[in-house]
Structure 1
Amino acid sequence: MNNFDTKKYPAFSSFLNQLAKDLTKFYYAKLDKPFKITNKMKGKGYDPVTTSDKAFEKFIRSKISKRFPDHQIIGEEYGHKNTKSEFSWVIDPIDGTRSYVVGNPSWSNLISLNYNGEPILGLANFPKMKKYYLNVNKNTAYVFENNKKRKLKVNSKLNFANSKLAAAFHNQLTLKQQSKIQKFIKRMQFPCFDALTYCQLAEGRLEMVAQCANKIWDIHPIMPIVRASGAIVTTWGNRNPVVGGNIIVSNNKANHKQILKLLKPLAE
């Protein structure tokens, strides 16, 4: 972890714990109302951004800047605040904007704290579901709900044959590419609901999750949470997922190896 001082975990995790509560309050006080939608791709596809995305990111940036003014900030909507700090915050103000647009509750606020580029803490906050997921150190993560917290732990003993797989290609794979991973496609049993599906794996509800085209703000906040729950996370090419791209998360090393084998024809 590049010599990160682990004694600093409590201060940072406490900040994120409070930020989760503040974000949910902010949503119901300011954003639970009609909003405007803009298509970033301007007719060449569909990549929506809403006025709520921008409001959330401004709110998150203000909280971070007030508490940690020298830290770097990288956000989906407002870019990179570059400083000399070893710490950087990566923000997806609304992960699952499509879900937000149509009223599905699975959208979330995703935030990671990185040290020298590697995510060390992650928050996935679900205002509509009134719950959030947060790791407090390298080995411990919780889901907070109804004023209670439950420790996250993957179902590590379940073997490949009995494991549940959720996947989403996000329109990134052609039919020709999909034809190369037919064995994988036949194993797909569940859809993905944005970052929530990764979090459900951390709870032990699923054993494998695969997604395409994750940006750094999609996956950085998830990495510390699932790893603290005991999961394995890499790219489809078995590389460090910090680069983003096509991501696979598994409940144990044996299953991860099996699923990587099925995805090998499309490995980066």
Structure 2
Amino acid sequence: MKKLEKINYKLYSSFLRNLARELTNFYYSKLNKTFKISNKLKGRGYDPVTTSDKAFEKFIRSKISKKFPDHQIIGEEFGLKKSKSDFSWVIDPIDGTRSYVIGNPTWSNLISLNYKGQPIVGLANFPILKKFYFNASDKISFVVENGKKRKLKVNSSAKMNNVKVSAAFHNYLTPNKLKKIPKILKLMQFPCADALSYSHFADGKLDIVAQCSNKIWDIHPLIPIIKAAGGIVTTWKNEDPAKAGHILCSANKKLHNNFLKLLKPVAE
């Protein structure tokens, strides 16, 4: 992939930093009230969507369209706005809608800018927690918390004997399949909390994150943040994480190879 010029990184990361603040203000001024919930699966399971999901996505789309009118937009709730541009924005207006519904503060707004299908700049904004994560280049990412900016770095010295693992399989692995990964189950000692787990990984607070069945809007915004913090991210088959699906993040190559082997019996 052709590297972006520094000025472009600055342009796009600055846009996302400003958007994070606007999204938090939008939540507290317009959405911090009673909302309606519906189930996308209509009796075939539970996949909630709220009026807030839709309001957030409309707000994000309007900001992108105003600043970058030629760019494509792909959103979880309103689909594809197609153009001839090589740039596309991928939006998850509320990652963790279940958390949002029950008042858990771990939900976030996730947005990535992709170039020819590859995520290059990402944002994970947590309005209730008053912080957001973003990358300023392919080498540097930050968290801004309570107005203070701090550089992110994974815990690259982590080893198997002290590894901090967060994983969630969301019922995609059957009980029989779970029996094939007993070591993974034993090592799952830290909670998995939506995109916050990936963000904590980039901040060195977790050493491994493994999740099932990510959609592109679940993972694309986090890929550039993780990579810029020094993390390794692939599918469970060690393929390009931009494909989404089953995702593994590791703090160093040795850990990554070990966990790929442990997950191999259930990697599909």
| TM-score relative to the length of structure 1 | 0.99
How far apart are the structure 1 equivalents of 2:23 and 2:3?
Answer: 31
Query: What amino acid is aligned across from residue 111 of structure 2 in structure 1?
Result: I
The corresponding residue for 1:213 is 213
How far apart are the structure 1 equivalents of 2:4 and 2:129?
Answer: 33
Secondary structure of 1:189's partner? Answer: strand
The corresponding residue for 2:153 is 153
Written as runs of structure 1 = structure 2, the 5 A alignment for 1:62-141 is 62-141=62-141
How far apart are the structure 1 equivalents of 2:230 and 2:148?
Answer: 21
How far apart are the structure 2 equivalents of 1:200 and 1:245?
Answer: 20
The corresponding residue for 1:238 is 238
Aligned-pair distance for 1:4?
Answer: 3.1
RMSD: 0.8
Deviation digits for residues 36-87 of structure 1 (CA, Å, limit 9, x no counterpart)? 0000000110000000000000000000000000000000000000100010
Secondary structure of 2:109's partner? Answer: strand
Range with bigger deviation, 173-182 or 210-219: 173-182
How far apart are the structure 2 equivalents of 1:196 and 1:147?
Answer: 18
How far apart are the structure 2 equivalents of 1:226 and 1:3?
Answer: 17
How far apart are the structure 2 equivalents of 1:237 and 1:266?
Answer: 10
Deviation digits for residues 208-250 of structure 1 (CA, Å, limit 9, x no counterpart)? 0000010000000000001111100000110001011000001
- Structure 1 residue runs of 5 or longer lacking an equivalent are none
**Structure 1 segments of 4 or more deviating over 2 A?**
1-7
Written as runs of structure 1 = structure 2, the 5 A alignment for 1:221-236 is 221-236=221-236
Contact in 2 for aligned 1:2/1:116 (Cα 8 Å): no
How far apart are the structure 2 equivalents of 1:15 and 1:7?
Answer: 12
The corresponding residue for 1:52 is 52
How far apart are the structure 1 equivalents of 2:73 and 2:84?
Answer: 11
Deviation digits for residues 133-190 of structure 1 (CA, Å, limit 9, x no counterpart)? 0101001000001111010001101212211000000111111111111121111111
Aligned-pair distance for 1:2?
Answer: 3.0
Aligned-pair distance for 1:88?
Answer: 0.2
How far apart are the structure 2 equivalents of 1:214 and 1:6?
Answer: 30
How far apart are the structure 2 equivalents of 1:73 and 1:4?
Answer: 19
How far apart are the structure 1 equivalents of 2:5 and 2:136?
Answer: 14
Secondary structure of 2:8's partner? Answer: helix
The corresponding residue for 2:188 is 188
Aligned-pair distance for 1:3?
Answer: 4.3
The corresponding residue for 2:197 is 197
Aligned-pair distance for 1:7?
Answer: 3.0
Deviation digits for residues 94-125 of structure 1 (CA, Å, limit 9, x no counterpart)? 00000000000000000000000000000000
Query: What amino acid is aligned across from residue 41 of structure 1 in structure 2?
Result: L
The corresponding residue for 1:248 is 248
How far apart are the structure 2 equivalents of 1:209 and 1:161?
Answer: 16
How far apart are the structure 2 equivalents of 1:2 and 1:219?
Answer: 21
Contact in 2 for aligned 1:71/1:85 (Cα 8 Å): yes
Written as runs of structure 1 = structure 2, the 5 A alignment for 1:174-185 is 174-185=174-185
- The answer to whether residue 155 in structure 2 is matched with residue 171 in structure 1 is no
| TM-score relative to the length of structure 2 | 0.99
